[in-house]
Amino acid sequence: MNLKKKLFILIFILLNIYGLLCGVIYFFQENLIFMPSVLSQEHVFEMKSSFDEINLKSSDGAHLNGLYFKKENSKGVVLYFHGNAGNLQDWGQIADLFIDLDYDVLIMDYRGYGKSKGEKSMEFLYEDAELWYEFAQQNYSESKIIVYGRSIGTTFAAYVAAKHEPNKLILEAPFYSMLAIAKSRFSFLPIRYLLDYKFPTYQFMDDINCPVIFYHGTYDKVIPYDQGKKLYDSFNTDKKELITIPMGGHNNLNSFKEYTESISLEL
């Protein structure tokens, strides 16, 4: 086999591998971004604190499930958008932190998580976030609503804060955009044309008028610290604060005193 033919075969193989990688990103992006755990509709949630189970229906007929924790004489409500894995049976436990600080908590599962059902799309997920904010508005004035987003939930939290006037927005391990994360990991692919879930969090920041608190750990291997810092820097206001947690990872910020001491002051 001559050199020209060998080179042709090598290029052919590399192009096929490249095409395969593009196909994996495009066709399996939901599996890479979302890691839900499904619950049966008969599942009975077990929580330390008392709660009501809430079911909403979206404009396209999707069934959305959430938990609503109430505390007597609360200061307001924390509307909590959780991360990309698990379901409310796990995430509902986070409510105790805010209940101990005298807040009610409203936390929901995204489509395909827990008991929530419905076809996913970036647009539908943002619309769902708006629906949950509207539910909170039925029970609280906006001055009593704190919007909290964690990881992938930060983009939904920023979205509703940009459309409304909550008391405060808290972003834990936020990202500039999903496209920016994907580009950093797959810089050799035409990722802009492959990704449906671009989640452009940065686009919402200029429309946010409330104070915004950013939390990010320097050892975050899921959403790198520089993603949160880039989002923070893009927000042109003096009503912002970045709380950097040295050595903090993606799932353990609440184990650091920088977080626990700060969150009690911020709420």
Do 25 and 144 lie in one domain? The reply is no
Task: For 153-193, write each residue's pLDDT tens digit.
Answer: 999 999 999 999 999 999 999 999 999 999 988 888 888 88
- β 240-245/212-217 pair status: parallel
Do 26 and 103 lie in one domain? The reply is no
Q: Domain tally for the chain?
A: 2
Do 26 and 43 lie in one domain? The reply is no
The predicted structure's pLDDT at residue 8:
67
Q: What whole-number distance in Å separates Cα of residue 240 and Cα of residue 210?
A: 9
What is the span of the domain harbouring residue 10? 1-33
The predicted structure's pLDDT at residue 5:
73
Task: For 210-257, write each residue's pLDDT tens digit.
Answer: 999 999 999 999 999 999 999 999 998 889 999 999 999 999 999 999
For residues 245 and 2, the model is more confident at: 245
Residue 90 clears pLDDT 90, i.e. is over it: yes
**Helix and strand element counts for the chain (H, E):** 11, 10
Do 11 and 114 lie in one domain? The reply is no
3-state DSSP assignment of residue 108 = strand
When pLDDT is cut at 50, 70 and 90, the band that residue 203 belongs to is very high
Do 24 and 92 lie in one domain? The reply is no
Do 18 and 82 lie in one domain? The reply is no
The predicted structure's pLDDT at residue 190:
85
Residue 19 clears pLDDT 80, i.e. is over it: no
The predicted structure's pLDDT at residue 3:
73
Mean pLDDT of the chain: 93
What is the pLDDT averaged over residues 69-85?
96
Chain-centroid distance, C-alpha 240: 19
First CA to last CA distance, the chain? 72
Edge to edge, the sheet with strand 168-172 lists 51-57, 63-69, 104-108, 77-81, 145-150, 168-172, 212-217, 240-245
| Angle between helix 178-185 and helix 225-234 axes, rounded to 10 deg | 140
Quickly tell me which residue has 């994996």 as its tokens: 24
Share of the chain above pLDDT 90, in %: 81
Tokens describing residue 241: 């604060």
Do 8 and 68 lie in one domain? The reply is no
The predicted structure's pLDDT at residue 257:
92
Q: What whole-number distance in Å separates Cα of residue 57 and Cα of residue 185?
A: 36
Do 22 and 50 lie in one domain? The reply is no
Do 89 and 6 lie in one domain? The reply is no
What is the pLDDT averaged over residues 124-137?
98
Tokens describing residue 76: 């307001």
Q: What whole-number distance in Å separates Cα of residue 162 and Cα of residue 172?
A: 17
Residue 119 clears pLDDT 90, i.e. is over it: yes
